[in-house]
Amino acid sequence: MATAPALPFRARPGGLELRLRVTPKAAREDIAGLKAEADGGTRLSVKVRAAPERGRANAAVIALLARRLDLPKSAFRLLAGESDRDKTLLVSGEPDELGARAARLIGPAP
């Protein structure tokens, strides 16, 4: 029996750490499911139209996630990956509530 993939987020004091794999210059903006990593972890695949120039793609990622999670953009802070496709964000708020919201981005378990 296959095990479920690890979730791309974890609770942290005062928020939720969210691991992403970003595709800039995509045809449309979307949350595209989970992306497996070689170490067994996962990242949430996010596609944005913005080009990776002067922080535009990062801003587009935050705007998309803010809309989907129904949070202000100010709740998001980039922890790692400013110029990389693999990014880690810190989302400020109550970790359990944020975890439930983030789980809805992924969809129902298979």
Per-residue pLDDT of the chain (110 residues; tens, 9 = 90+): 445 568 899 999 999 999 999 999 999 999 988 988 888 889 999 999 999 999 999 999 999 999 999 999 999 999 999 999 999 999 999 999 999 999 888 865 54
- The candidate with the shortest Cα–Cα distance to 82, out of 98, 62, 106, 102, is 62
- pLDDT given for residue 5 in this prediction: 60
Q: Which long-range contacts (CB under 8 A, 24 or more apart) does 38-43 make?
A: 40/6, 41/6, 41/8, 42/5, 42/6, 42/7, 42/8, 43/8, 43/19, 43/86
Handedness of CA 15, 42, 21, 106 (dihedral sign): negative
- Domains of the chain are 9-106 (3.30.1200.10)
